[in-house]
Amino acid sequence: MSFRAQLTSFRDWERQNAELKTSRSQSDAVVCNSSDRPAETNGHRKSKIRSNAADACLIALTCLAAFAAIAYAKAVTMPLTMAVLLYLVLRPVMKSFAKWHVPAVAGATICLVVMSAIVFGAIFFLTQPTRQWVNDAPGYMYQLKLKLSGLEEQLENVEEVSDKISDVTNGNDADEIKPMPVEIKQPRLLPGLNLLSSTGGFAAGLVITFGTLFFLLAYGDEMIENLIAGFRTGESRKRAHMLIFDLQHGMSSYLLTITVINALLGVATGTAMWLLGMPNPLLIGTMAFLFNYIPFLGAWVGTGIVFVVAVLQFDSFAYALLVPITYFTLTSLEGQFITPCILGRSMSMNPLLVFLFLAVWGWIWGIGGVFLAVPLLAVLKIVADYFPSLEWISRTIMMRDTCPS
């Protein structure tokens, strides 16, 4: 073999050796990558889980802080919330005034005057019956005591037996003379300070509500337009306009429908109470109208109040039972059939969430929060219906259609 042939074979051998080393290194790299990938995937999953848990905790703490701040400043936050809800309800009225070329300030003044007349007119007409019930309360309690005297005697007998058992078990310790607690009360500078404070708080709440509502009706649309104009894209501005329209249309139609239904229920309840011979049927009808804004709890509380009044009014206990049965039947028909059929599926809400909202907002804002709980849940449902990312909230709030076909 010549030298050139030997050199060529040597180069071929080196080339094959290099190719073999390259293939081995690539296979080793593939093996290393395949072995390291599960570890990297597991680590990524763990870090993602930690991040999601941290985000959930942060959201929970933020919600708790927000609820605490709202509860602490309820003297301001509750009237402001009421004003915003009333603004959404009255915004279509302001649109109608604008079509009739009525200035915004004049339209806001008209709305405020009408609302003030309704509120103070209701207070004026209901003050006398309420005062009469309060003045006659001692006589009512005495009558109730006489009618329930049999039950009271049984309770007294049970109390005497329990005292005798306590004397036997305690032995001579029951005969010892216990020291009488002494409490020193300082004379109060203003005996009616609590009443003045509560009345002043109510008046301040009305001032905040009506004042905020006036400025929202007069200048709220302009403020919203300026705020939306600051959005960067036309699509964002369009979505914001649609959201505001959906909120005002949904809330105005919902609250207007509920108010008309409650008014008709109040008229029907007052008429039924008048036919049954109940005293002050106007006051009972107004009570039914107001309490019907509170689902579930309003019907139960109203039935209890009517039952007590009926027991005091009538000698026959069987006839007295007819009054709360009538009251509860009317409210049940309204809540289970009439309202779901009129509102339809779009505004049907889960009873469990309604009850939870009543409990939470009642704890935060008291009786005012109980009245505002359902409108706030309706606002949440409207917003959730609008945004696809909140579809799960909308599905949770929504309840199947209960209107019979």
pLDDT of residue 190: 40
Over residues 246-300, the pLDDT tens digits come to: 888 888 888 888 888 999 999 999 999 999 999 888 889 999 999 998 888 889 9
Query: CA-CA distances (angstroms) from residue 242 to 81, 86, 253, 387?
Result: 21, 19, 16, 11
Residue 206, Cβ density class (10 Å: 0-12 exposed, 13-18 middle, ≥19 buried): middle
**Residue ranges of the alpha helices (H) in 276-338?**
281-291, 297-313, 317-333
* Residue 349 three-state SS: strand
What's the helix, strand, coil split of the chain in %, to 5? Answer: 85, 0, 15
Residue-range domain boundaries for the chain? 74-147+209-397
pLDDT of residue 400: 60
High-pLDDT (> 90) share of the chain, %: 17
CA 258/CA 348 separation, integer angstroms? 12
CA 100/CA 93 separation, integer angstroms? 11
Phi, psi of 103 (to 5 degrees): -60, 150
What sign for the dihedral angle of Cα 158, 160, 164, 169? positive
- For the cut 70, the answer to whether the pLDDT of residue 229 exceeds it is yes
Segment 45-55 shows an average pLDDT of: 73
Over residues 338-392, the pLDDT tens digits come to: 887 777 655 678 888 888 998 899 888 888 888 898 888 888 888 888 788 888 8
Band of pLDDT at residue 167, cut at 50, 70 and 90: low
Segment 203-224 shows an average pLDDT of: 89
Phi, psi of 349 (to 5 degrees): -120, 150
Over residues 82-106, the pLDDT tens digits come to: 999 899 888 888 888 989 989 999 9
For residue 327, which amino acid is it? Y
CA 43/CA 35 separation, integer angstroms? 14
Q: What average pLDDT does the structure give for the chain?
A: 77
pLDDT of residue 106: 93
Band of pLDDT at residue 61, cut at 50, 70 and 90: confident
